[in-house]
Amino acid sequence: MLDPYQILTTTAQPAAIILFSSIRREEIAQHMDAGITELLGIVAGQGIGPAGPLFAHHYAMRPGFFNFELGVPVSGPVRPEGRVVAGELPAATIARTIYHGPYEGLGEAWGDFKDLVEAAGLAMGPNLWERYLSDPAVVTDPAAYQTELNQLLL
């Protein structure tokens, strides 16, 4: 289920990120799981976060492959460590909605969301990001997960 979308202008938000290139769709979960553990451990160890929900910022998707950043907002400068470097969620004009449901439904939710944005006559940019508002360690029913979907607008 998708909430009604909103048009917003965001401000840049500093983050710690791990970059992933040419990841196959079926391999995303394993890369995300390992990346989340590494990312959260490093920002906690540096005393800078997390200062907000985890996110995946997707670039230049091509059929079956994804280039993206896995990130988390931080409260101070990121010292590069392992695969973790400094980054940011950009300042941008976006369309935003909340998807309610399991992560396996995100592909369909994005398709439905983009259909709504296109039907409204809005021009979409190439980047999008999702923020994971539910912690699976706390919210144990995947049907109750909430994921924020953000589509860059031109």
Domains of the chain: 6-153 (3.20.80.10)
- Taking residues 116-142, report their average pLDDT: 93
Per-residue pLDDT of 54-106, as tens digits, reads: 999 988 667 778 889 999 999 999 999 999 999 999 999 999 999 999 999 99
Q: What is the pTM (predicted TM-score) of this model? A: 0.92
The angle at the Cα of 124, spanning 107 to 84, to the nearest 5 degrees, equals 65
Cα–Cα dist 56/20, whole Å: 10
Rounded to the nearest integer, the mean pLDDT of the chain is: 93
**C-beta of residue 49 within 8 angstroms of C-beta of residue 72:** yes
Cα–Cα dist 39/17, whole Å: 7
Query: CA distances (Å), 67 to each of 23, 24, 58, 64, 96, in order?
Result: 7, 9, 6, 11, 21
Burial of 112 (0-12, 13-18, 19+ CB in 10 A): middle
Which parts of the chain fold into alpha helices (H)? Answer: 28-45, 106-119
pLDDT of residue 111: 94
